[in-house]
Structure 1
Amino acid sequence: MKGNLWKVSDLLDETDIRFAQKRFFDLRSGYEYYGLTEKVLMRMAREAGALYKIYTTYRVRRDLFEAYLREQYRKENGL
């Protein structure tokens, strides 16, 4: 496996692995995976600089979005 995903591979299911292989995801799969509403997901992706509009469809760049989530988690927990 690429990156650090192998370190937690015993905790992942097929859905997690398929999602981690994507570079971009659409809003529907994002709010299903992360459990966020579409509005919150768009706001957070925009703040992360990870939101792209391709014609009428929005895509989120997963690596930037997850880096933003990790950064916000560290801020909230004082790490």
Structure 2
Amino acid sequence: MKGNLWKISDRLDETDIRFAQKQFFDLRSGYEYYGLTEKVILRMAREAGALYKIETTYRVRRDLFDAYLRDQYRRENR
């Protein structure tokens, strides 16, 4: 595994590992993985600067989106 994912690999299931290997995800995959609606993912990805539109399909850059989620979580839990 790349990066630091191996440090928590005992707490990850196969779905987490497969999702972590993707650099980009579509809104439906994000809905299934994060449990957020597509509209919320779209808004948050736009705020994070992680949203890309390819023709009619939206793709979200996972590393930027995850960093944004971590930052928002830290701000709420101060």
* 1:19-75 Cα deviation digits (max 9, x unpaired): 000000000000100000011010000000000000000000000000000000110
Q: Aligned residues: percent identity?
A: 87
Q: Which runs of 4+ in 1 moved over 6 A?
A: none
In the superposition, the TM-score normalised over structure 2's length comes to 0.98
Q: Which runs of 5+ in 2 are unaligned?
A: none
Coordinate RMSD, CA, aligned: 0.5
What amino acid is the match of 1:3? G
**Residue pairs, 1:1-79, within 5 angstroms:** 1-78=1-78
In the superposition, the TM-score normalised over structure 1's length comes to 0.97
What amino acid is the match of 2:39? K
